[in-house]
Every structure is written in structure tokens, then in C-alpha cells.
Structure 1
Amino acid sequence: MKTGLYVLLGLVALLVVLVQLLAAKRDRDAAAAFPPTGQIIDVNGVDVHVEQMGQGPDLVLIHGASGNTRDFTFAFADMVKDRYRVTILDRPGLGWTEQIAPEHKAAWSTAHANPTEQARLLKAATDQLGVKSPIVLGHSFGGIVALAWAVEFDDLAGVVSVAGVANPWPGDLDWTYQVNGSAWGGGLMVPVLSAFVPATYIDNVVSNIFAPQAAPEGYIDHVGPALILRRVSMRANARQVNWLRPFVVDLSQRYGDIDVPVEVVHGDADTIVPLDVHSAKLPGQIAGANVTVLPGAGHMPQHTHPAAVIDAIDRVAARAGLR
């Protein structure tokens, strides 16, 4: 009996080691294939990955869940860098920005950086780079970070929310967030998924995010989806999303404090961050907030309807007296 138990425990230990070795290899492969494309700066002891380009009024771009700076450098940044100085940052734990606190890096934990903490870090990074009175644009999860930035600070020109999270949603998130965002899921499930999820899974996820439109040719190759399959990024993303709703409940009560121009661009076919749950309510919460609804558009307007997003940026610039 004891011999059989020892054999079983030995096999389990061997399996755990194998999974971690395979996940570590994927981490290394992702890092080699998709290295930092900008500069990494030290912000109060935290490495922050940032790219800066162009000239003109300052425009800060903040990516969504599972994303990184490459989402904006695929095409969008090139469309606006002739009229704005564009600063693009990786959020904590994603791309090449470190987690803010040591406990956020722990495998068996739910500790994570909430949107206000993220906004403080990114604001400190932009300050260090000489950014002044920026227009802060956030996509998806980046939308709630942009709104937290506007609630927390008053030295920005305005906010552009693109398919952004803004208000509490009914029901539960997908089970994968609930599992991977838990302490046991981060410790057990994330390494397994990191080691064994096939590349076709990424293709399907990207297709769902862009639906009903299609992802532009070359997008997946550019954006580096392997980066999100690293253990540290999977944990960071799952925790940030899974534990987001209570934060949104609290922050949404403070939207009346925002007194800068707010422009919103949102597709009415977005099933990831539904228009009616999130952006449609903002005009009643923020004085002067303007919502542009894109008929038939999904969750990625910065790629599928870039002109509408650029128009929203220009409107904030005009309203703020930057142009």
C-alpha cells in the first residue's frame, strides 16, 4: 500500500515538474519571439515598458485585457503620430511591464493591481517622460484605467474610451477568469494552460474579440499572443479581470468628479464589453460625455473603425483647447 502511494506521489511530482519545465520553455520562446519594442524605464522600482513617437499634443494609449503595446503599434499609432506625441504603455504584468508589488507576482494568490493603482503607475511613467496634459485613451480594460486616471488626477486634457469598461455588469464572468483568477487556479491551472494551450486557441480568441469583423491580416503575427500565455501574464490578466467588478462599482460612483472632456467610441455589436451595460450610461454620469455608437461594430474599433476613434481624439483636443 505504502509503495503504491509513494509511486503515485512520485508520478504527481514528476508531472508537476514537467508542466513547469514546458511552461518555462514557452515563457522563454515568447520572450525571444516578441522582445520589448520600446524602452523600459524604472518607475519607483517598477520596470515599465513604454513606446513614444510623433509630435504634437500628448496622447497616451492604454491597451485592454490580454493586450500589450503591440496592439496599438500594429497600425493605429502610425495614423496619429503625425499630429500627436503618442505614448503607449504596457499595463502591470502584461507585455513587458512588471507587476507593481511583490505579492502580485505570487503564484498562489489573488493579489493584483486595480485600475487606480495602474493609473498611478502609468501616470508616473508619463511624468518621467515629460508628458504634459495628455489625452488618455483606453481600450476595453484600458477604458476603466483611463477613467480611474481622470478621477485620480486633474492634469489631463481629456479621456477617450474605446469599447471601454465603465459600469458594473450583471452575471458572472467566463469560468476561465474565475478559475485562473483564484489562488489555486493561479498555482495549478495557469502552468498547465501555459504549457499546453495550442496556437489554434489564440486564433479562435482573436476571432471572437474582433467579431463580427475580421482581424486585419498580420495582426496575430504582430501582436505577440504568446506573451499572454506566459505564466506571469496569465495570472495578472485573470486576477485583474476576475476581481474588477467591485472596483468598477466603487469608481462609477465618482464619475461626477470628472471635469475634463470625455469622448466614447463603442460598437453596438460588441459582445465582450456590451455598449448598453457600459458606455451608454456615461452621459448621465459624466457632464458633457459624448458617446459615438458604431452600428455593427465589434470590440476593436481602433482597428476596424480607426477614423471614428481619431475623430474622437480630435474632438477632445478641440474641447480641451489643444488645437
Structure 2
Amino acid sequence: MLIGSAAAGLAVAGGGLAVTARATAREARIEAAYPPEGDILDVGGVPVHAVVRGTGPDLVMIHGASGNAREFTFDLIARLSGRYRCIAFDRPGLGYTGRTDPTYDAAFSSAAETPAEQATLLAAAYGQIGEGAPLVLGHSFGGTVALAWALDHAARGLVLLAPAAMRWQGGLGPLYALNASAPGGALAIPMMTALVPDSKLDEITRRIFAPNPVPAGYLDHIGGQLTLRRRSLRANARQVNGLKPHITHMQARYASDLTLPIEWLHGTVDTIVPPAVHAGPFQKLVPHTNLTMLDGVGHMPQHAAPEAVVAAVDRLARA
């Protein structure tokens, strides 16, 4: 019996080592295929990846869940860099930006950066390369961080693309709950890094874009595999799964603290961040928000309706 138990233990350990080795090798291949496109800033010991392109008024750009700065370098920055200095950041734990607290990187944990912590880090990074109050654009979870930026730091105005801004009913499903848990972070995440095929990422991306098509070349450019790294999977799951209480706290401040100009764009058929839950109720709290509903657009307005996004940035710059 003891021999059998020992053999089983060795088999489990061997399997764990094999998963770790496979995950490590895959992460190395991913980072070789999708290196940083910008500079790595040292912000109080935390590396922050910033892509800076163009000239003109500063426009900070913050990507959503599971993303990175390539979300904007695919197309939107090229549309704006002729008259704006575009600064696209990787959020903490994603792309090539580090964590605001090293304890967040622990495998057996469920803690992660709040939107306020993320905004503070990125605002400090901006302070190294910019001056004054920038325009701030955020998509989805990046819109939440943009709102946190405006609540606590200087901003000239906000462009919000399908942001999560209001408290919602229910949870986010069992997969987020598992991956965000301490056991999930230690055990399930390495398995995902080692074994989830790229085709699964493509399938998920198509669901995020639905009902709009994924633009040609997007899947090759975006580097979605960067999110399959263990650090990024843990960061993303923990940040998203723990978001609701932070949004509840932020929501209580919107009416009194958000006096800056706000442009909000939302697809009418967005099922990931439903506009009926977020856009309409937010505008009731902050009536000066200029809300643009995009007919037939899903969760990716920067790709499905880029001209509308550019027009919103231009309106904000004139405000």
C-alpha cells in the first residue's frame, strides 16, 4: 500500500513537472513571437509597457480584459496619430506590464489589482512621458480603469468604449470563479497555459466580436496568446472576477466627482457588457455624458465602427 501510494505521488509530481515544463516552453515561444512594441518604463520598480506614436494632444489608451496594447496598434492608433500623441499602455499583469504588488503574482492566491490601483500605476507612468491632463480612452475593462483614472487623477476628458461601469446582477460564470480562486491559480492555470490550443483563442475572439466579423489580420497581430501565460491568466481572472465590489464603490462617486467631458460609445447588440445595464444607467447618473449607440455593433466598436470612435475623440478634444 505504501509503495502504491508513493508511486501515485511520484506520478502526480511527474505530471506536474511535465505541465510546468510545457507551459514554460510555450510562454517563451509566445514572447518571442509577440515582443513589446514600445518602451518599458520603470514606475517605482514596476515595469510598464507604453507604446507612444504620433504628435498632438496626449491621448492615453487602455485595453480591456485579456488584451494588451496591440488592441490599439492594429488600426485605431494609425487613424489618430496624425493629430494626437497616442499612448497605449499594457494593464498590470497583461502584455508586458508588471504587478502593482508582488504578492498578486503568487500562484496560490486570489488577490489582484483594483481598478484604482491600475489607474494609479498608469497615471504615474504617464507622468514620466507626458504633462498635464490627457484625454483618456478605455475599452471594456479598460473603460473601468479610465473611469478610476478620472475619479482620482487629472484627465481632460474620457472616451469610453463599451465600458463596465455599473453594478450588475449575478456572477461571471464558473470558469472565471475557478481560475480566480487560489486552487485554480495554482493548479488549473498551468494546465491551460500548457494545453489550450490557439484555435480555442480564435474561437473566443470571434465570440467577443459577434455579430461583427474579426478584421483580416487581427488574430495574427493581437498576440492573444500573451494572455495564455500563467501570470496573465491569473491576473485577468482575478481582476475580472473581483471587479463588482470595486465598481459598486466607484458608482457611488460618479454623480459628484465626474465633471469632465465624457464620450461613451456602445454597440446596441453588445452581449458582453450589455448597454441596458451600463450605458443607460450611467447616463442617468452623469447626464452630461454624450452617449452614442451604434446600431448592429457588438463589443468591439473600435473595430466595427472606428470612424465613430475617431469622431468621438475629436469631439472630446474640442470640448
**CA distance, structure 2, for counterparts of residue 131 and residue 66 of structure 1:** 29
Aligned to 1:232: 231
Q: CA deviation at 1:27?
A: 0.9
Aligned length: 318
Any idea what the Cα deviations from partners look like across 1:79-109, whole Å, max 9, x if unmatched?
Answer: 0001111100000000000111110110000
Q: Which runs of 5+ in 2 are unaligned?
A: none
Q: 1:281 Cα shift?
A: 1.4
Match in the other structure for 1:188: 187
Residue 159 of structure 1 contacts residue 261 of structure 1 at CA under 8 Å; is this kept in 2? yes
Deviation, 1:280, is: 1.6
Rounded to whole Å, the distance in 1 between the matches of 2:181 and 2:149 is 27
TM-score by length of 1: 0.97
1:1-323 → structure 2 map (5 Å cutoff): 1-153=1-153, 155-256=154-255, 257-319=257-319
Displacement after TM superposition at 1:208 (Å): 0.4
Alpha-carbon separation, structure 2, partners of 1:51 and 1:200 = 28
The letter of the residue matching 1:163 is A
Distance 1:225 1:279 in 2: 27
Residues in 2 aligned to 1:9 and 1:176: alpha-carbon distance in whole angstroms: 27
**Runs of 5+ consecutive residues of structure 1 not aligned to the other structure:** none
- Per-residue CA deviations over 1:103-133 (Å, capped at 9, x if unaligned) read 0110000111110000000000011002432
The one-letter amino acid paired with 1:172 is G
Q: Distance in 1 between matches of 2:198 and 2:130?
A: 40
**8 Å contact 1:259–1:287 — kept in the other structure?**
no
8 Å CA contact 2:112–2:238 kept in 1: the answer is: yes
Output the amino acid matched with 2:92. P
Amino acid at match of 2:269: A
Amino acid corresponding to residue 315 of structure 2 in structure 1: R
Contact 2:159 2:262 in 1 (8 A): yes
Hey, what's the Cα distance between the residues in 2 that align with 1:26 and 1:148?
34
| Letter aligned with residue 75 of structure 1 | D
One-letter code of the match for 2:181? S
Rounded to whole Å, the distance in 1 between the matches of 2:226 and 2:155 is 31
- How far apart in 2 are the matches of 1:279 and 1:116? 21
Shift of 1:305: 0.2
- How far the C-alpha of 1:287 sits from its partner, in A, is 4.1
Partners of 2:282 and 2:157 lie apart in 1 by: 14
For residue 31 of structure 2, what is the amino acid of its counterpart?
A: A
TM-score, normalised via structure 2 length? 0.98
2:260 maps to a residue whose letter is: V
The alpha-carbon distance between structure 1 residues 131 and 217, as it changes in their structure 2 partners (threshold 3 A), is: farther
Q: Measure how far apart 1:26 and its partner are.
A: 1.1
- After superposing the two structures, state which structure 1 stretch, 160-169 or 283-292, moved more: 283-292
Q: Note the aligned Cα RMSD (angstroms).
A: 0.8
Asked whether the 8 Å contact 1:272–1:299 carries over to 2, the reply is yes
Would you say the 8 A contact 2:58–2:130 is kept in 1? no
Matched position secondary structure for 1:147? helix
* Equivalent-residue separation in structure 2 for 1:28 and 1:276 (angstroms): 42
Partner AA of 2:134 in structure 1: P
Counterpart of 1:196, as a letter, is: L
Checking the alignment, whether the CA contact within 8 Å between 1:58 and 1:132 is kept in structure 2 is no
The structure-2 alpha-carbon separation of the partners of 1:143 and 1:252, relative to structure 1 and needing over 3 Å to count, comes to: same
Three-state SS of the structure 2 residue aligned to 1:276 is helix
Instruction: Give the C-alpha shift of residue 22 in structure 1.
Output: 0.7
Contact 1:158 1:261 in 2 (8 A): yes
Q: Secondary structure at the match of 2:227?
A: helix
**How far apart, CA to CA, are the structure 2 residues paired with 1:81 and 1:198?**
35
Q: Deviations over 1:211-265 (max 9, x none)?
A: 0001101101000011000000000000000000010011111002111001100
Q: Secondary structure at the match of 1:278?
A: helix
* Distance in structure 1 (CA, Å) of the matches to 2:148 and 2:167: 14
4+ long deviations beyond 6 Å? none
